[in-house]
Amino acid sequence: MKKYEMNRWLLILVAVFMITLPTGGFAKVYKLGLSLAITGPTSDAGNPYSKGVEDYFNYVNDTGVLGDDTIDCTIRDDQYKNDITKRNFEEFLDDGIVFYLNYSTGSTLALKKDFEEEKMPVIPASFHAGNLVDSNYIFLPIASYSAQAIGLAEYVVKNNKGDMPKVAMFIHPSAFGRGPLEDVQKAVGAGLQIEIVEVVEHGKDLDNTAMLKRLISKGVRYVISQTVQSPVATMLKDASSLGLIASTFGEEGKLTFLGCHYTGGNDLVALAGDAAENFYWTTSYVITNEPGPGTDAQLALAKRYGRDEKAANSHNYANGMMVAQVATEVIRRAKAKDKEITKETLYQELLGMNGDNAFQPETTVGPVTFSPTDKAGVDTLQLYVVKDGGFQSAGKPFIPEYTAKIK
């Protein structure tokens, strides 16, 4: 009897040992990390972004997208502080991550050398073109801020009536804001027919009255913004109170406002109210104001995980959802080739995401493509404009012409 009991316990121990062995045929857990501003500056973007990442990875695990394997993505708040981001990244490395999702322009630039040393594939929430300079491992999810600003400037040129359009740039006082300015200036040097009359780096002054009157006195008709929603909303409300918002594109004596990804979306309409009417905005993401597969997928994901209407309809929820889609897809592709899931194999899968291997997420207006010489994902942009209190598409998706001319 004792011998029988001993053999039974030995069998149980062997079974437990076999279950925990990291061998083929048993479920694996792939570790990822995300550091971003859930609180603090720019949390209006970081909060829904984190929810999009979390919900999509939960969906992957709950529905068996990777079979029995799962993704464990640790999400940490860095409050938009580079030192906290660096500490989070180092702890993620200790935890054995194979893929990293970063957030801000400042921390992406600050950690660029770390990414190179660790050979860690990284997708940030920052679309700053400078992220890619002297970098092998950073991949932008969509077209850069520079491409977006150039695309807006090209739209101004094509739709302006009269002499060369006079433009002001309203930018964030950081690398995030200043980055596109130099590239727009290069586009002008390459033949883009606009005159940049003034560059305004917004500060803590909540009243833009003097600035807006000054722009009008200089003949400016267009203001292209590269910042976040809050200062743009304040500027639009100030312009509205002065009666300076153009009712038609390029209206003489008035201002037509345009902006890049983080300036717009449904949150801007909520902040600016009626003053957001006729605001032009560009991004590579599908918005939920318009029906389609991307809208259905985003709203279904948000509903599945109990998100409120604000998060569900945020383009930054789509933003987070999309980077999680890309990370999942490279793991899926590597698995399909019976490759071990490592940072190196996932990096190679990213580099091969082009041509017939381009990735088509429903969340974007064009395909995700990467290569050794092109690490900006979705090259296509869509222009949107606020009409009757909501963003609507204006024209078809496009690729800015001057982005290639200034490379």
Q: Residue 344: which CATH number?
A: 3.40.50.2300
Structure tokens at 279: 């605001």
Same domain, 91 and 191: no
- Together in a domain, 137 and 233: no
Tell me, yes or no, whether 1 lies in a domain.
no
Question: Considering the domain boundaries, does residue 22 fall inside one?
Answer: no
Q: Distance (Å, rounded) from C-alpha 117 to C-alpha 100?
A: 14
Separation of alpha carbons 3 and 6, rounded Å:
5
pLDDT in tens, the chain (407 residues): 444 454 555 454 444 444 444 445 689 999 999 999 999 988 989 999 999 999 999 999 999 999 999 999 999 999 999 999 999 999 999 999 999 999 999 999 999 999 999 999 999 999 999 999 999 999 999 999 999 999 999 999 999 998 999 999 999 998 899 999 999 999 999 999 999 999 999 986 678 999 999 999 999 999 999 999 999 999 999 999 999 999 999 999 999 999 999 999 998 999 999 999 999 999 999 999 999 999 999 999 999 999 999 999 999 999 999 999 999 999 999 999 999 999 999 999 999 999 999 999 999 999 999 999 999 999 999 999 999 999 999 999 999 999 999 88
Would 12 be classed as within a structural domain?
Answer: no
Specify the long-range contacts of residues 388-395, CB closer than 8 Å, at least 24 apart: 388/277, 389/269, 389/274, 389/276, 389/277, 390/266, 390/269, 390/289, 391/264, 391/265, 391/266, 391/269, 391/281, 391/287, 391/289, 392/289, 392/290, 393/290, 394/280
Helix (H, G, I), strand (E, B) or coil at 377: strand
Quick one: 346 and 271 in the same domain?
A: no
Domain presence at residue 8:
no
- Cα distances (angstroms) measured from residue 149 to each of 152, 227, 252, 353: 5, 11, 22, 26
Same domain, residue pair 248 and 344: no
Tell whether 338 is covered by a domain.
yes
Q: Do the domain assignments include residue 117?
A: yes
Kindly state whether residues 138 and 156 are assigned to the same domain: no
Q: Can you tell me which residue has the tokens 């992406």?
A: 108
What's the number of domains the chain is made of?
2
One domain for residues 275 and 347: no
CA–CA distances in Å: residue 37 to residues 21, 49, 80, 85, 276: 37, 9, 5, 9, 25
Clarify whether residues 166 and 243 are in a common domain.
Answer: yes
Same-domain pairing of 231 and 349: no
Has residue 186 been placed in a domain? yes
Q: What does the pLDDT read at residue 21? A: 46
pLDDT in the model for residue 203:
81
Residue 275 lies in domain: 145-283+383-405
CB atoms within 10 A of CB 345: 18
Strand order in the sheet with 99-101: 70-77, 29-36, 99-101, 122-123
So what's the pLDDT on residue 19?
45
Task: Look at residue 112 and tell me if it is in a domain.
Answer: yes
Whether residues 349 and 334 share a domain: the answer is yes
Kindly state whether residues 211 and 265 are assigned to the same domain: yes
The answer to whether residues 251 and 297 belong to one domain is no
Are 343 and 395 in a shared domain? Answer: no
